[in-house]
Amino acid sequence: MSSERFYITTPIFYPNGVPHIGHAYTAIATDVLARFQRLDGKDVFFLSGTDEHGQKMQQTAEKDGITPLQLADRNSAVFRDMLVRLNCSNDDFIRTTEERHKIAVQELWRRMEANGDIYLGKYGGWYSVRQEAYFDESETTVGEDGVRREPLGSPVEWVEEESYYFRLSAYGDKLLELYEKNPGFVMPAERRNEVASFVRGGLKDLSISRTTFDWGVPVPGNDKHVMYVWVDALTNYITAAGFPDENGEKWGYWPALHIIGKDIVRFHAVYWPAFLMSAGLELPARVFAHGFLNNKGEKMSKSVGNVVDPFALIEEYGLDQVRYFFMRDVSFGQDGAYSHEAITARINSDLANDLGNLAQRSLSMIAKNCDGKVPEHGDFTAEDDAILKAAYGIYDRMVAEMGNQQIHKALAAVWEVVAEANRYFAGQEPWALKKTDPARMATVLYVTAEVVRVVAIAIQPFMPESAAKLLDLVAVPADKRVFHVEKAALVPGTELPKPEGVFPRYVEKDAEA
């Protein structure tokens, strides 16, 4: 029986600079969602990559005295390394300078053209090199310094060129119908409302080629033009699914769930479905936009100097700790803030105290009092049943939350069980039972260890390495590290390894150090 397919993507990153925490955030979230579905038995295809064309790349390369491809090679490798360091489980890494991609974009273009949606015109507009986008005059403002800027603050310049256009104006009603009939197409709802109101405001045709630089995919039949970088970039999602080979094995993965930041919703939820409709291709399954991260409430920016290097963060706090923090502390879909205080609070309370201590206390009691083996248990009391039921109930709750990309709620559900298990353990007082009723103590320890097992299974997508260590401690074999956990309860008598702490406390560095 072939399992259900699940295709998920990150945005492809601009390799004109090095990765920052925003890139790491998007990658971690997508990885967590991919790992979750894999664990749930789906046949997952997880794609990431780099978006290597465009004027910005060309200009940065010129400044550095290298070719755009050299720049792309250098920084694409850094992004690829970021994914490895973040323990991302992507199945493919696409670079838009690859031949397979050129073939796909040119074919998409031909199909849109064959459908009558591409025509040659002339374009004049206010162009921001930084955003790689034209802006309406009404969207720009002239500052006190006499420089005209777009809403996000980068300077714009007047550019005129012969350009191909995509007949976006013809797709307004179809897009509105899409949002209406399939409200899950753009999530969260705030983002859907934003794009719907943008579309309702009226769509103009979109300029989709450039003649003022040449670092891009040539337009089929007119290589004076290179394609607008967003036509090129968005197509990566179908390139990796084997397009134009619609009979190929890979094509079975399309359509995808696109995880993106809220800054690029318009491209994904307006332009991209319009291109696909025009080319007669299936639309994405969903576009989910997460929020922006800021540093202690301040917007991260190179000029403010508060851009956080994800590698430094991992070094300081540990990879799984960083993954956990961002997934648990930020409501996925909303903006989020991070600070040293917030990260260390999560590490010490949720990980070290709540889960770490539960595991450590129960497993070391087992090591000491139960011969280092999974204890034999007697009949379960109402309390035992209640905590086991809560633990076994995690799976359904997580499936529901993760299906809607509510990552933080899935983790909250797990930590509710952890809290309940701590109350159970404290309330049962197994250390006191040791003298009065050793058989009952064994049952309490069994139940606690079983909850630890279920929790460890559940947190694998979020903290793969720590979860694996915990599962080692309760001797769960590799083939049993999957959901539908109640069918694989711990077997009394199984030999357990010597318990070790899995979640160390974060200790502040000495003030004078």
> Is residue 28 near ligand ME8 by the rule CB under 6 A?
no
Nearest distance from residue 204's CB to ligand ME8, in Å? 21
> Is residue 323 near ligand ME8 by the rule CB under 6 A?
no
> Is residue 430 near ligand ME8 by the rule CB under 6 A?
no
> Is residue 29 near ligand ME8 by the rule CB under 6 A?
no
> Is residue 22 near ligand ME8 by the rule CB under 6 A?
yes
Sole binder of ligand ME8 in the list 103, 264, 342, 468 (CB under 6 A): 264
> Is residue 25 near ligand ME8 by the rule CB under 6 A?
yes
- Establish how many alpha carbons lie within 13 A of residue 241's alpha carbon, considering only the half-sphere containing its beta carbon: 25
- Tell me how far CA of residue 290 lies from CA of 93, 269, 332, 413, 491, in angstroms: 21, 14, 6, 20, 42
- Residues whose CB is less than 8 angstroms from the CB of residue 39 and which lie 6 or more positions away in sequence, other chains included: 460, 461, 482, 483
User: To which residue do tokens 């991992």 refer?
Assistant: 314
Number of residues that bind ligand ME8 (CB under 6 A): 19
> Is residue 216 near ligand ME8 by the rule CB under 6 A?
no
> Is residue 33 near ligand ME8 by the rule CB under 6 A?
no
Nearest distance from residue 265's CB to ligand ME8, in Å? 9
- Residues whose CB is less than 8 angstroms from the CB of residue 508 and which lie 6 or more positions away in sequence, other chains included: 344
Candidates 9-17, 57-65, 196-204, 435-443 — which segment interacts with ligand ME8 by CB under 6 A?
9-17
Nearest distance from residue 493's CB to ligand ME8, in Å? 49
Residue 453 phi/psi, 5-degree rounding, is -60, -50
Specify whether the CB–CB gap between 258 and 140 falls below 8 A.
no
User: To which residue do tokens 């949606």 refer?
Assistant: 117
Handedness of CA 344, 349, 351, 357 (dihedral sign): positive
Candidates 8-16, 189-197, 199-207, 217-225 — which segment interacts with ligand ME8 by CB under 6 A?
8-16
Candidates 18-26, 86-94, 309-317, 407-415 — which segment interacts with ligand ME8 by CB under 6 A?
18-26
Kindly compute the dihedral angle of the four CA atoms of residues 442, 443, 448, 451, in this order, to the nearest 10 degrees.
140
Binders of ligand ME8 among residues 230 to 249 (CB under 6 A) are 233-234, 236
User: To which residue do tokens 């150090």 refer?
Assistant: 513
Nearest distance from residue 266's CB to ligand ME8, in Å? 11
User: Is the bond preceding 461 in cis, omega lying within 30 degrees of 0?
Assistant: no
Sole binder of ligand ME8 in the list 300, 345, 367, 419 (CB under 6 A): 300
Give contact residues for ligand ME8 (rule: CB under 6 A). Answer: 11-14, 22-23, 25-26, 51, 233-234, 236, 260-261, 263-264, 292-293, 300
